[in-house]
Amino acid sequence: MMKRMKVIALLIALVLVLWSCGNKQSDLRPVVEDLTPASSLTIDEEEAAVLNEKVPVILYFADEQQTKLVKEIRYVDIKEAKKGTAALASLMVKELIAGPKSKGLKSVIPEGTALRAPVAIEGRTATVDFTKEFIDNHPGGKELAELTIYSIANTLTELKDIERVKIIVNGKTTKTFKDKVTLDSDFPRNDAVVNKEVGLALPEDSVLAPVEETDAETLQLSGEEGEDPLE
């Protein structure tokens, strides 16, 4: 009789243990479900590896009407970025010359223009030396000439070590550019010519989701609004 009672007690204890474990598992299920990512954006391991080897930079191109500048994000090899500010600045200027990758944007660097030498940085001023096509092939117009200058100045002042940009041609300071716009001084960034309604444009082949204007500001490494020396 005692043996039977012990068996019954053991069975009751086992049932209670299993019931208790079942309740704990059901309590944990909502916690596990809460860990599911809310974003619908997914990238595979190969894409993630590629992005891990890139750093974002911001370039400035003209909008379709060529009246304002628009930011475009571009990803460059982290090995190039680690070579220093001057090397990264040179790479960014070459990307400007190559033109935009996003729809609706236009380059304002004259066709045929090339970078004669790597960008030089002295103090916090970057000097960009273009070939003569920068002047010879520019279509002219005061507004477009200013957009060309600030496409370069705004791009390079995204780098924290650069506050102003000087543009020279064939290794020499050139006063005359187009329509009374001169190049005999250096230029700060000019956010007044940026179309802030567009935010940040992404290349068509980007694997990332569109970036809002607030996120674009976190990518900007430096630069404050300055007075327009062309006025």
Q: Would you list the DSSP string of 165-207?
A: EEEEETTB--SEEETTEE-SS-EE--GGGB-TTT-EE--TT--
Confidence (pLDDT) at 49:
57
Domain boundaries, the chain: 45-219
How far apart, in whole angstroms, are the C-alpha atoms of residue 147 and residue 90?
A: 19
How far apart, in whole angstroms, are the C-alpha atoms of residue 50 and residue 7?
A: 63
Give 110's DSSP letter: P
- Asked whether the beta carbons of 76 and 54 are under 8 A apart, the reply is yes
Confidence (pLDDT) at 55:
87
Q: What angle do CA 115, 117, 123 make, to 5 degrees?
A: 110
- Asked whether the beta carbons of 104 and 143 are under 8 A apart, the reply is no
pLDDT tens, position by position, for the chain (231 residues)? 444 444 444 445 544 444 554 444 444 334 333 333 333 344 456 555 556 788 889 999 999 999 999 999 988 888 888 899 999 999 999 999 999 998 889 999 999 999 999 999 999 999 999 999 999 999 999 999 999 999 999 999 999 999 999 999 999 998 889 988 999 999 999 999 999 888 888 875 443 333 444 344 434 443 333 344 344
